[in-house]
């Protein structure tokens, strides 16, 4: 009986399966080469028990590329919340920052909010300038046209808008960015709980 023709999708599946099967089976590879050369199989070769191509087995998975081992635990530095809590405590002490953010300002007039925001702004600015040295990432004025060369630091410069092609890029500075050059946070006393941003006050 004539076997039905295999569809195109079936031929693609068979081709991929045969490819990996030939890679993993030297005898099958030899048989396929003999078939392509027009040779015929011996009787033993075509017996059902010995025919390598009779069973339809799933193709072996391709060998994955070697994956670099994960870094050892000792090389991974866990982020500590202490410095962030310390800074938040300084902003609360000098600018009443947490008080301002946690306050429900829906019932206040804009003039009252503006006056409070001015005090918070002055305190936050003084705190940052006392404990951090902050400089712009780009020294050019905002609105200036600049050229970003190939190999630029993607952590310091973020391209926005219609980013197409490869560097160099020509664009306009919409924000100069900020970079911290030095940090001068005071050392914490071991007995100090940094999670207490401001102690509760009890008037006697």
Q: Residue 13: is its pLDDT beyond 70?
A: no
Whether pTM > 0.75 for this model: the answer is no
The answer on 151 and 102 residing in a single domain is yes
129, 133, 136, 141: CA torsion to nearest 10: 50
Instruction: Check residue 87 and give its pLDDT.
Output: 92
Q: For residue 15, is it left (φ>0), alpha (ψ between -120 and 50) or beta?
A: alpha
What is the pLDDT confidence band of residue 65, given thresholds at 50, 70 and 90? very low
Query: Hey, what are 25's tokens?
Result: 């089976």
Q: At 35, is the pLDDT very low, low, confident or very high (cuts 50, 70, 90)?
A: confident
Determine the Cα–Cα distance for residues 9 and 70; give it in Å rounded to an integer: 40
Cα angle, residue 30 at apex, residues 25 and 32 outer, rounded to 5°: 95
Q: Are residues 13 and 92 in the same domain?
A: no
Based on the domain organization, do 98 and 145 belong to the same domain? Answer: yes
Give 44's pLDDT tier (boundaries 50, 70, 90): very low
Sign of CA dihedral 184, 188, 189, 195: positive
Q: Classify residue 70: in a domain, yes or no.
A: no
199 found inside a domain: no
- Based on the structure, what is the number of domains in the chain? 2
Measured distance CA(51)–CA(28) in Å, rounded: 9
Please check whether residue 137 is in contact with residue 156, taking contact to mean a CB–CB distance below 8 angstroms.
yes
The parent domain of residue 39 ranges over: 9-46
Residues 94 and 23 in one domain: no
Looking at residue 12, its pLDDT comes to: 47
Please report, for residues 28, 97, 126, the alpha-carbon distance to residue 84 in angstroms, rounded to integers and kept in the order given: 65, 14, 17
Q: Using the 8-state DSSP alphabet, how is residue 73 labeled?
A: G
The per-residue b/e assignment along 112-137, b for 16 or more CB within 10 angstroms, e otherwise, is eeeebeeebeebbeebbeebeeeeee
pLDDT digits (tens, 9 = 90+) for 68-120: 455 555 555 566 788 889 999 999 999 999 999 999 999 999 999 999 999 99
Same domain? For 105 and 32 the reply is no
The tokens describing 8, both together, are 């195109």
Residue 190 forms part of a structural domain: no
- Domain membership flag for residue 106: yes
Strands 145-148 and 169-172: antiparallel
Band of pLDDT at residue 26, cut at 50, 70 and 90: low
Comparing 71 with 167, which gets the higher pLDDT?
167
In a domain, 73, yes or no: no
Residues 109 and 173 in one domain: yes
């Amino acid at each position: 009986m004539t076997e039905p023709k295999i569809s195109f999708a079936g031929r693609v599946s068979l081709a991929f399966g045969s490819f990996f099967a030939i890679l993993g089976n030297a005898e099958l590879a030899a048989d396929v080469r003999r078939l392509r050369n027009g040779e015929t199989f011996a009787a033993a070769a075509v017996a059902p028990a010995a025919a390598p191509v009779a069973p339809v087995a799933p193709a072996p998975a391709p060998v994955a590329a070697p994956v670099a081992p994960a870094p050892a635990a000792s090389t991974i530095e866990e982020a500590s919340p202490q410095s962030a809590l310390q800074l938040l405590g300084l902003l609360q002490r000098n600018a009443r920052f947490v008080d301002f953010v946690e306050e429900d300002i829906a019932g206040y007039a804009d003039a009252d909010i503006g006056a409070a925001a001015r005090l918070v702004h002055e305190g936050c600015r003084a705190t940052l300038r006392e404990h951090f040295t902050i400089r712009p990432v780009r020294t050019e004025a905002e609105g200036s046209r600049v050229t970003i060369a190939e190999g630029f630091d993607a952590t310091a410069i973020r391209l926005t808008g219609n980013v197409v092609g490869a560097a160099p890029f020509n664009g306009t500075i919409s924000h100069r960015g900020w970079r911290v050059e030095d940090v001068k946070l005071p050392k914490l006393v071991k007995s100090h709980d940094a999670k207490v941003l401001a102690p509760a006050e009890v008037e006697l």
